[in-house]
Amino acid sequence: MKRRNFVKSGLLVPAVAFSPSLIASSEKQMDGKPIHVGSGQDRFGKRIQIGKAVLDCKISGKDTNGHLYVFESSQNHREEGIPLHMHPDLDETFYVLEGNVKIKIGDEIYRLGHGDTILAPRNIPHGWVTNSATPSKILIIVQGAGKMENFFEELSKLKEFSPPIVSEIYNKHNMVLMGPPLEAD
């Protein structure tokens, strides 16, 4: 590209990028204020407990127009794995903060330790279990927040985890329950 054309194209980019019609058609943006959630704290001060696991919301889907939900799952024990399931419209990234985790994504099984990260893409079955004697702590990033926060709140109210009831809650929140939890090694 000749320099003259390069300069002209460079002048068009800001005009297009800041076009009032594009701005008006975009989604409502965050208010620009940072969100700080301290270690061991929940964004709204209401930790969710499911079995022995404790979930702390770090960034809510309400903060990001439903684009992102970040939570920390701690006190995960070997005997309480997450059932094999899939999300048709959500990607999940797992970052191990403490302990070891065995995770199945599709047909592959991975063993993750401190600092390891893995992506479970949408429409791919996945489930996980703590694979260490001590509880694990995992930061989970959900892209396309969907109904995950409401799902956890509803699941935390169950007194009994029978397959039909759990399956109904998964379906209600646009997730597909596909099998039992993994077992630790």
| pLDDT per position as a tens digit, 114-132 | 999 999 999 999 999 999 9
Distance between CA atoms of 67 and 131, rounded to whole angstroms?
30
Higher pLDDT, 109 or 18: 109
pTM: 0.82
Q: Computed over its alpha carbons, how large is the radius of gyration of the chain?
A: 20
Helix (H, G, I), strand (E, B) or coil at 134: coil
Query: How far is residue 43 from each of residues 8, 51, 182, measured CA to CA in Å?
Result: 47, 21, 30
The structural domains of the chain, ordered by start, are: 48-181 (2.60.120.10)
Share of the chain above pLDDT 70, in %: 84
- Six token digits for residue 83: 């059932």
- Closest C-alpha among 45, 66, 65 to residue 56: 45
